[in-house]
Structure 1
Amino acid sequence: MQKKFGRPADRDEEAVGQLVRMHGQMLYRVCLVMLGNPHDAEDAVQETFLRFMTKGPDTKDAEHQKAWLIRTATNLCRNMRLFRLRHPHVDVEAVENLGAPAVCRDVYREVLRLPANYRLVLLLYYVQGYRTEEIARILNISPAAVRKRLQLGREKLRMEWERE
């Protein structure tokens, strides 16, 4: 049963804990795809939930909360990537051992090499099961742009896969 979240100042730990259990892994995967580093992904997820506790929407609608969390996480990841570009540091860890068969790891590695806008749309569509209209709303782009990114992302993935 969904807990009442109310105003940010009135939120209790149990309600936020429930939200973390419901959406934590999904947000981690989104952040991992965008950032390519498990440590940065964990930081982004943690910051997303902290922002929910302090600034999150005052709604009981689970889908609205989920969309808010995804949008906030993607914005945080984008900011982290920009910071990384402006302030270079030691190479980011590669995600090697995901506990999946070798082919899955290879496909995942190829997906990580795609530009961020294609990676995120592919993840939301194929892994999270969102429809193009929902992805468009979350990313604040048109449904046609989502479909085009899906098409181009699949083409780029296919070309890279065939090249190797």
Structure 2
Amino acid sequence: MATAGTQIDALTISMTSTTPLAGFAELYERHYEAVFRAALRVTGNPADAEDVLQTVFLRVLARGGDVEDVALPAAYFRRAAVNAAVDVLRRRELHAESEYDDGAPHAAVQPPGLLKERLRRAIAALDSDDASLFLLRHVEGLSIEELAGMFQLEKNNVTVRLHRIRHRLQTEMQR
């Protein structure tokens, strides 16, 4: 897992190397709004969405600012945003657990938007591919065909996986 320091080092290396980054600004301008919106829908927090935006584009910069080998850049950026947003949710969950991990019983905290937060936690508990598949379908509105191409699965497999994911989320939400 790359830390902020290694991401900055990669950024420095790629900016000082002879690798051309001329198309990066155009790539950023074309996709930053979609990345931010996808991240905001998943995290529900503008600050977290900004972090996701930075993470996604730092990763692209670490690759030399080039996504030419990606067949569908828009789909690539949406999936990268959802994956990074799920990572943010997982870190948030770990942080919340560690705050209350002193062994003493605590009263249940029920902030506004409890249902949304429980859903976010349930999604964060899924493995990355399942979380991405669910969010890209139900939050980003991608079609079964688009998901099949993106995940390199048959359409029937996508449908079955989505059904199983929804069932797991329902079970988790009823706990």
- When the two structures are superposed, what TM-score results if normalisation uses the length of structure 1? 0.60
SS of match in other structure, 1:57: coil
Quick one: which of 20, 36, 54 aligns to 1:25? 36
User: What root-mean-square deviation, in Å, do the aligned CA atoms of Structure 1 and Structure 2 show?
Assistant: 3.9
Does the aligned pair in 2 maintain the 1:121–1:135 contact within 8 Å? yes
Quote the residue 2:123 is aligned against: 111
Does the aligned pair in 2 maintain the 1:110–1:161 contact within 8 Å? yes
TM alignment of 1:49-128, pairs within 5 A: 49-50=60-61, 54-57=65-68, 64-70=72-78, 73=80, 92-94=91-93, 101-128=113-140
Which structure 2 residue ranges, 5 or more long, are not aligned? Answer: 1-19, 97-110
Structure whose CA Rg is larger: 2
- For residues 96-153 of structure 1, the C-alpha deviation after alignment (integer angstroms, 9 at most, x for no partner) is 7xx9712111111112112222211110000000001101111222212211110100
User: How far apart are the structure 1 equivalents of 2:154 and 2:34?
Assistant: 25
User: How far apart are the structure 2 equivalents of 1:70 and 1:38?
Assistant: 13
SS of match in other structure, 1:93: helix
Quote the residue 2:153 is aligned against: 141
User: How far apart are the structure 2 equivalents of 1:121 and 1:114?
Assistant: 10
User: How far apart are the structure 2 equivalents of 1:138 and 1:10?
Assistant: 27
Does the aligned pair in 2 maintain the 1:122–1:153 contact within 8 Å? yes
Total equivalences in the alignment: 132
1:132 paired with 2:140, answer no
Which structure 1 residue ranges, 5 or more long, are not aligned? Answer: 1-7, 82-90
User: How far apart are the structure 2 equivalents of 1:115 and 1:11?
Assistant: 33
TM alignment of 1:26-45, pairs within 5 A: 26=37, 28=39, 41=52, 44-45=55-56
User: How far apart are the structure 2 equivalents of 1:117 and 1:25?
Assistant: 20
User: Structure 1 stretches (4+) deviating beyond 4 angstroms?
Assistant: 29-32, 37-43
User: How far apart are the structure 2 equivalents of 1:17 and 1:42?
Assistant: 10
User: How far apart are the structure 2 equivalents of 1:116 and 1:67?
Assistant: 16
User: How far apart are the structure 1 equivalents of 2:141 and 2:172?
Assistant: 24
User: How far apart are the structure 1 equivalents of 2:141 and 2:37?
Assistant: 11
- Pair 1:100–1:21, CA change in 2 (3 A): farther
Does the aligned pair in 2 maintain the 1:16–1:53 contact within 8 Å? no
